[in-house]
Amino acid sequence: MDDKLISKIPEGPLAEKWTNHKAKIKVVSPANKRKLEIIVVGTGLGGASAAASLGELGYNVKIFCISDSPRRAHSIAAQGGINAAKNYTNDNDSVYRLFYDTIKGGDYRSREANVYRLAEVSNLIIDQCVAQGVPFARDYGGLLDNRSFGGAQVSRTFYARGQTGQQLLLGAYASLNRQIAKGTVKSYPRHEMLDLVLINGEAKGIIARNLVTGEIERFGAHAVVLATGGYGNVYFLSTNAMNSNGSAAIQCYKKGAYFANPCFAQIHPTCIPVHGTQQSKLTLMSESLRNDGRIWVPKNIEDVKKLRAHQIKPSDIKEEDRDYYLERRYPAFGNLVPRDVASRAAKERCDAGFGVNETGLAVFLDFKSAIERLGKDVIKARYGNLFQMYEEITDTDPYKEPMMIFPAIHYTMGGIWVDYNLQTTIPGLYAIGEANFSDHGGNRLGASALMQGLADGYFILPYTIGDYLSHLIQVPKTDTNAPEFVEAENKVKERLETLLNIKGNQTVDYFHKKLGNIMWEYVGMARNEEGLKKAIVEIAELQKEFWKDVYVPGTETEFNQELEKASRLADFFVIGDLMARDALNRMESCGGHFRVEMQTEEGETKRDDINFAYVSAWEFKGDADTPELHKEELNFEFVKPSTRNYKD
């Protein structure tokens, strides 16, 4: 085990680790909490819940978001639901079953202790959100309803139609606003973190840019919490909001925080297909649709040709001529296999020539059977807003014709390495939610992102950060005039000025699209040694071209979105290189990482537990140098890694 990668996993039985750990770590008294300051960067479910909880405890919190309001964080886009092991449906769910499904779904590349803790606190999240007034769906008797999601054979997903992320965020936002009104939390909307400030090796503040005025500002604290989401927009086209980015994480990486498992990116199977070269983002259709929707392509290539030529409609194809390929290949789970499995299966059918749109990159998600079985009104009650959204985008009525879907980049399982306390390799710097790597391994099960973000923010970080802060009670407030702040601010200004002064010939989007094409082609759904080596070379060449030929209009002392995009793209080059290197090093297929060289005869993933049962943690060694790989070995004491089987 690397000296820096001390995971701090507690000893003892799995079900007692978290309880024992909480009993042993230090706490801060209420009077002393008032002396301490905490910076939270990001206002999604992780950041908003953490800031609200820390403020309620009595800490002085500063929270930052790049949007005009915390409620516009990308968590709002999560549609389908949030997992918890309540067993309300009496279908034999349990904390252990949720733990096991999550470990298995992540292809045995996550820590047992972290995942069990996540399952353990999941039930508390539901109680918290109900108390906040989150309007979860209810059954006929008024009790909270559940539905199924991929990777599980029980119904454990709580939902609010197709707006679960929005409703959960509004609950956290209300709690956050209460603390802002009380004065324990100070909110800084339209502020972007551009650097982390270290004093004596500890995180003591950030440099942020006021995105409205362009002013560079210094903010100090006793600890910093990163809750800035994932880095999926490195691909340019993804389901993420367009301003979602990995820059804050990369600034922390460059200051000494190890970046873990960067190659683990999730491809979501139910995205509306790409429809043109000028598209700027992709739209996700909720995984919840796979509860009642059936995925298929025609059995006969002649029908495929007629569909592409618009000679027939999908509904014209007879039932016996449809290939419900997920039900055929994975009879036990059918359309509810995990996302990575469903995505690769769609790619396989399209690669074989059975894609159903003009580009050949689409399959059908059909509700014909469900409407016949349940009636249109029931389907409308469950998914009405999603059906409406699909029709507005595609001009096709999904009640009459099946939806077209295709896999797209959605979520990143990799992120800043953290220990059991959610602390990074930099003392005083914590990472929560999608910004860290800890809970999902190689693949995230649906409805688990909301669970992790709220678990970290409401029920884990508020306990563990106190263990660190208990040693800082006598430490005065951070002096933002310290030389470390001056140096960091000057470096930020220098970088922005450099970008503005290049005055090249190409737009930021020109380079971002090129990077996205490289990533999708070589570091996308299927990866091989030759392609990954090519990606590393091409990313480096494109990065050099960017710094010579990008054109960023305007100035740094004004609202300037092109400057924001350019700065974020500069960091995406670093992320893309890390992802390709990590994928090249990981000579196995697991979760969302599919190496062509490592697959079974049936085309399934083939893990190598002897050589790769570890977390890869990359250390920054300088802009001109290759990052160094460190390994945190994964020890499976309570579950036995086995080949993922969704067939029986």
Q: Given a cut of 60, is residue 377 above it in pLDDT?
A: yes
pLDDT of residue 29: 98
Q: What is the 3-state secondary structure (H, E, C) of 615-639?
A: EEEEECCCCCCCCEEEEEECCCCCC
Q: By percentage, how much of the chain surpasses pLDDT 70?
A: 100
**622-629 mean pLDDT:** 96
For residue 129, count other CB atoms closer than 10 A to its CB.
Answer: 25
Q: What is the pLDDT of residues 30-49, one digit of tens each?
A: 999 999 999 999 999 999 99
Q: By percentage, how much of the chain surpasses pLDDT 90?
A: 94
Q: Could you tell me the two tokens for 614?
A: 């570890």
Q: Beta partners for 429? A: 224
**615-627 mean pLDDT:** 97
83: Cβ contacts below 8 Å, ≥ 6 apart: 98, 122, 149, 152, 156, 157, 158, 445, 447, 448, 450, 451
Task: Yes or no: say if 382 and 138 are a contact pair by the CB < 8 Å rule.
Answer: no
DSSP letter for 436, please.
B
Position 587: which residue type? Answer: M
Higher pLDDT residue, 574 or 275? 574
Q: Given a cut of 90, is residue 391 above it in pLDDT?
A: yes
For residue 483, count other CB atoms closer than 10 A to its CB.
Answer: 9
Q: Given a cut of 80, is residue 3 above it in pLDDT?
A: no
pLDDT of residue 1: 54
- Provide the pLDDT confidence category of residue 645 given band limits of 50, 70 and 90: confident
**495-512 mean pLDDT:** 98
Q: Which residue bears the tokens 């929560």? A: 432
Q: What is the pLDDT of residues 407-439, one digit of tens each?
A: 999 999 999 999 999 999 999 999 999 999 989
Dihedral sign (CA 15, 19, 24, 25): positive
Q: Which residue bears the tokens 């009642």? A: 292
**Rounded Cα gap, residues 205 and 38, in angstroms:** 9
Q: Given a cut of 90, is residue 475 above it in pLDDT?
A: yes
Which of 285-294, 297-306, 465-474 is the least confident region?
A: 285-294
- Provide the pLDDT confidence category of residue 541 given band limits of 50, 70 and 90: very high
**Rounded Cα gap, residues 601 and 603, in angstroms:** 5
72, 97, 218, 339: the active-site residue: 339
For residue 633, count other CB atoms closer than 10 A to its CB.
Answer: 11
Q: What is the pLDDT of residues 113-142, one digit of tens each?
A: 999 999 999 999 999 999 999 999 999 899
Nearest to 149 by CA among 73, 63, 83: 83
Task: Yes or no: say if 191 and 70 are a contact pair by the CB < 8 Å rule.
Answer: no
Q: What is the pLDDT of residues 221-240, one digit of tens each?
A: 999 999 999 999 999 999 99
pLDDT of residue 275: 85
Domain boundaries, the chain: 268-410, 483-633
To the nearest whole number, what is the mean pLDDT of the chain? 96
Question: What Å distances lie between residue 482 and 38, 87, 197, 252, 478, CA to CA?
Answer: 18, 54, 10, 19, 8
Q: Is 533 exposed, middle or buried (0-12, 13-18, 19+ CB in 10 A)?
A: middle
Q: What is the pLDDT of residues 235-277, one digit of tens each?
A: 999 999 999 999 999 999 999 999 999 999 999 999 999 987 8
Indicate if 339 belongs to the active site.
yes
Q: What is the pLDDT of residues 12-21, one digit of tens each?
A: 999 999 999 9
Nearest to 226 by CA among 203, 209, 201: 203
pLDDT of residue 303: 98
- Provide the pLDDT confidence category of residue 4 given band limits of 50, 70 and 90: confident
Q: For the domain made up of 268-410, give the CATH fold.
A: Flavocytochrome C3; Chain A, domain 1 (3.90.700)
Q: What would the CATH number be for the domain defined by 483-633?
A: 1.20.58.100
pLDDT of residue 648: 78
**Rounded Cα gap, residues 40 and 52, in angstroms:** 10
- Provide the pLDDT confidence category of residue 588 given band limits of 50, 70 and 90: very high
